[in-house]
Chain A
Amino acid sequence: MKRLPLMLALLAGCAGPAEHVYPGPKAPLPEHGVIAEDTAPKENLRMVAPEVYMRTYLQLFGGLAPLEVQKRARGADGGALFDTWDDYVSALGFPDYRFDVPRQTQTNALMAATFERLGVALCDRALEHDLKAPKGAEPRPLKERLVFAFDLPRGAVDAGAFAPRFDVLHRTFLGYPASLAPPARTARFFQLFRDIVAGHAKVDPKSRFSPDEAGWAAVCYGLVRHPEFHLY
C-alpha cells in the first residue's frame, strides 16, 4: 500500500514529461475504505515445543504424571500401545543439555511417526476410558470424560450427528470451533469416519473396538496428529 504512490510516480516518469501539472484536489479525497495491512514480520509456522506437546498429552490423559501415563498407556492387556518415554524423548525433539544436543525446531518423518505412536495410544486409551463402560455399569459422566466428551448417537451416524461431536474433538485438540476451520474439514473427517466404520470389521476382525468406536478413534488420531496440533 505504501509503495503504491511511489510506483505510480515512477510509471508516470516512464511515460514521458508531463505537459501539465495537475494541482491536486481542492478538498481531501473521500475515504472509501480502509484495508488493514498486517505489517508484522512473519515466519513460517513453528513447531510446538516438545515440552508443550508432552504437557498437553498428559493433560489429555487426565492430568497425570508422565510415569503414570506410561503405566496406563501400556496397560496390562498386552495392547503394546506404548513403550517408555525414554524411547520417544529424542524423537520428539527434546534437547539433551548433557551432550549439547539442541532442541529440534522442525518436524521430521520419524517425529511424525512418533506422534502417531503416541497419538494412537492416547486415543485408544481415552476411548476405552470414556466410551467403553464395563458391562452393567453406567456410562461415565460427561464431565469425567477425557477426550470423547459426548454420547454416541443411537443408530447410524449421519453428517448431522457427526458435526457437533466432531466440533467437541476439534476444540479439544485444535482449540477452536470446527465452524471456523476450512470448509472441507468437517466433511473430510466425516468421510474418514465413514470409511473406517464401513471397513473396520473386515480389515481388523479381532479389534477390541466396534466399527463406530474405531471410527471415532480414527477421528481422534486425525486431530491429535493434525498439522494444526503440532504447528502454531
Chain B
Amino acid sequence: MRTSRRRFLQVLGAGAAAAWTGLPGHEAMADVARATNETEFFVFLIALGGWDVTLWADPRNEVRGIIHPASTENTDTSQLKHWVDAPMADGAFKTFELVRPRGSSHAFGPGIGDMADMVDRITVVNGLEMNTVAHPDGQLFSTTGRHPQGGRVAASSIDTMISNEMGREQLLPTVSVRYPSSYVGENLDRRVVPLAIDDVGSISRTLSRSQAFDASPERDRVTAMLSEEARDLAQRSTYPDVLEGLALQYEGVRRMLGSNLQDVFSAGGLRKAHPELDYKRRFTGGPAVNAAFAVEAMKRNVVRCVSFAVGGFDTHGNNYRGQAQLQQETFGLVTELVKSLDATPHPTLRGTRLSDHTHILVVSDFCRTPQINFGMGRDHYPNNSALVVSPRFRQGLVFGKTDPDQLLPQPVRRFTDGERAIAPPDLLATFLAAFAIDPRKYMRDGEVVRELLRA
C-alpha cells in the first residue's frame, strides 16, 4: 500500500482533530496510523549477557570514581578499527581515544565500529535504569518492560506486541531465533505466538514436503478439516482461545506451504542471496544469517518481526578481552543490515527503500560494572543503553545520562511519577507509540518519551 498525499492529509487531519500529545488514548489518530503500519517491518536484537556500555554508547576513557576504563591491559585491540591508544592516569597501559564521528557532536567508544559511519541515523538511549543484575530478569525487563513475577514471564515481549497490532495477517508474524520472545497477557491473537527456532535454516526444512505419496491439495484438505475440528472443540470449551488459536495456526500452515518459502529460506540460499553480510566474523558470523533472513523475508512481505540474539557478552573474566570486538561485530552487523535494507526496495511501496520502513531495536540484559574485577573482566551492573535505528525516532540523538563517577542512571526528565531516569518500559512504550499503539494495551508501566520521536 502506498501512502498517498490524500492519505497523508487524512492522517494529518485526524491527528489535528485528536490534538495529539504523544500519549495514548487518541483513537482517531491511532486508527489511521495503524492502517499505515501495514507497511512497517521490525528487527529486534538482543546482546545476550550484558554489554559494556563504556565501550560504545556511554564511553569512559579515564580513571575516575569507581570507573576503570578499558585499556590495553584488559582488551585485545588489534582487531578494533576505531581503537586509538590514549594515555591513562597510571601510565602503564593505554586506554582509547573517544570516537567522534564526522558531523556529530556525540562521542562513542571503539565498540561502535562501522556504525560510527551512520550515527546520523541512530538513536542512542543511555542511563536506562535496570533495577536488576540477573540475566533472565534483565533480558525480560529489556524486552517486555516487566520484571518476572515468581520466576514467570509477566508480559509479552515487544515483538509479540508489535505483531499483535500489525502482524496478525502476515504469514510469519514473528520469527524469533533465540530471542527471549514471550506471549503473555490479554488481547492477543494466537496467530502471533512467536515462531521460536534456533536456526532460520530449519524453516526451510520444516516446510519442505514430499510429493511421492500425496499431493499438496490433499494435505490442505486435511488442514482445512482440522481447522473445523479445532473450532468445533473450541465451541465446546469453557476457554476456547487455545483451540481457536490452533484453528488459525492450521490456516497459517496452509498459507506458509502455499508460498514456496522453503526454497528461499535455507541457510545456504540466504547466504547466497545476501553476500553483502559477513558470515565469517568470529562472533556474529552465525547471526548474520538471521539478518539475511530478515531482509529476504521483509522483501517478500512475509514477516513482520524478526528477533534474534547475539551471545557472548557475559564477560566476567579474561573473555572481557574480546568484548570490544564483539561489540564492533554486532554493530557492524546492524550497519550491514541497514545498508542491505537501503539497497532493497520496499515490497509494496513503490519507489521507497525497505530501510525507510524498517525499525531496529537493539537491547541487552544490562551493562557491565565500571570496575575491572580481579579476573580482568567486568560483572553485572544495573544501568543500560539501547540503540534504535528507526525513521520514526529522532536520529542522531543520544538521550539519557549517567553520573561521571559511578556510571549510574541519572534523572533525565519529569515523568508522571517525578524526575527520574528513563527505564526500559519507557523505551518500549515509546517504541509502541511511534506506531500509534496504545502502550497500556500491553504494558503496565512505562511512559512515552516524546523527545525520542520525530515530530
Contact = CB atoms under 8 A, between A and B. Distances in A.
Given A101-B198, A116-B253, A209 B214 contact: yes
A221 interface: yes
Contacts of A81: 210, 212-213
B233 interface: yes
B225 interface: yes
A68 interface: no
A116 B211 CA distance: 14
Contact of A110 (B198, B206, B222): B206
B196 interface: yes
Contacts of B253: 109, 112-113, 116
A172 interface: no
A108 B213 contact: no
Interface residues of B, number: 57
B279 to A, nearest CB: 20
B202 A192 contact: no
A90 B233 contact: no
Interface in A176-232: 182, 184-185, 188-189, 192, 195-196, 199-200, 203-204, 206-209, 214, 217-218, 221-222, 225-228, 230-231
Contacts of B248: 109
B299 interface: no
A225 B226 contact: yes
Contacts of B241: 44
A124 B222 contact: no
A124 B214 contact: yes
Interface string B22-53: 00000000000000000000000000000000
Contact of A182 (B191, B194, B209, B236): B236
B183 interface: yes
Nearest to A93: B196
Interface string B244-255: 011011101100
B246 A101 contact: no
Nearest to A189: B225
Given A124-B214, A192-B221, A227-B233, A117 B209 contact: yes
Interface of A: 42-45, 77-81, 83, 86-91, 93, 96, 99-101, 104, 106-114, 116-117, 120-121, 124, 182, 184-185, 188-189, 192, 195-196, 199-200, 203-204, 206-209, 214, 217-218, 221-222, 225-228, 230-231
